[in-house]
Structure 1
Amino acid sequence: MQRTLSAIATTGLMTAGLALAGPAQAAPAEYPPTSHHKAALSEVVLGGAWTVEFGSPIKGNRHQVRLRTDNGKVSGFIRSFYCPSGATVSPRWASSRCTHRQTIYLKNQGGNKVGWVSSSGNSATQRGYLMGTSGSRSWPFDASFTLYATEPPTDDGDGTFYSWWRAARPEGSFAGKPILAGTTRYGQISGYGPV
């Protein structure tokens, strides 16, 4: 009886294995975009205590800002740390000596669009009012970044859509705070859409 049960179990497992190893299904086709997009990305560090006119003070003394705009639509965050003297922060990394204090997520304020890319793609602007939220708290901010391309564009289109991007250097301020001198900054200008 035990030998029969063992044979049935083995046959069942082999059948299941064959079913799993059957012909692979093709991945769903990727569809080309149906609208044109122009986007900009700024990644910078702001320094010092941060008191805002409306809303509670922003905790920390080093603030990573990542602002992405795509056809005026805002996304990104402010990640704030308290760093002792000598501890460093870049837009994508913080010293283990720094303590994370809070993260604020960025979004559009009402229908306010933020972000434009020049027709040549050599520069972009992220300027206007936006909102930051963290839990039930919110803050109004104004962005004032200009990005200048530092490299030629990289083309990644496939004939059904166009897609390009290029490295850029952001300049300017965020909520009146200038980019912290001597810190690394990253930027990108890009576009994609149907051919």
Structure 2
Amino acid sequence: MKTDAQLQQDVTAELKYEPSIHAAQIGVEVKNGIVTLAGQVGSYVEKWNAERAAQRVNGVKALTIELKVKLPNDGKRTDADIAESATHILAWTSSLPEKAVKVMVEGGWLTLSGDVEWQFQRQDAADSVRHLAGVVGVSNQIGIKPSVSATVVKSDIEGALKRRATADAKTISVEVKGHDVTLSGTVHSWAERDLATRSAWGSAGVRNVVDNMNLVY
């Protein structure tokens, strides 16, 4: 198991390795395996990439974000401009049904709402607007319409886990209530944890995934 000092070094190195991040502006603190990122970044995308970079480091138990987005003067836009751009780009996103996603912008913070049928559509919507100039944050409140029975959802998830992570499928328990899925058991890395949750979201009709899995190195 890594010490806090080793984790700090590894997270710092991963931030420096990511070309989209100005690592010198981000401070890294670690206590009992919990990593805190603090400082100032020039865009929401940079903040998002910093979070993902830290999560890639083996040994990180949890992540606390204290990063502030400070846009350069030439990067600031009105909320109306951002909303118009977001509406257009969502309309051009081929995976999304027409007019399925609604947009609200306040102080540069963009909120997505509406309903889609699949988690990948929900994710595509957020991915398509994350890089827009002037955005300081994105809240994805898009819901997922129910389309299959709980029995089918449970079968789909368990089948996906067995196909993609045979060794770990036996240690992960799947519970379905309505269209809410709870995953419990143990995984051995962030990658395995992400695989399990993505497998759960990959089943049609899933509206919520609760991650109760334990990360054991």
TM-score by length of 2: 0.24
Going by fraction, where is strand more abundant, 1 or 2?
A: 1
TM-score by length of 1: 0.26
Bigger Rg, structure 1 or 2? 1
Instruction: Identify the structure with bigger relative contact order (alpha carbons < 8 Å, sequence gap 6+).
Output: 1
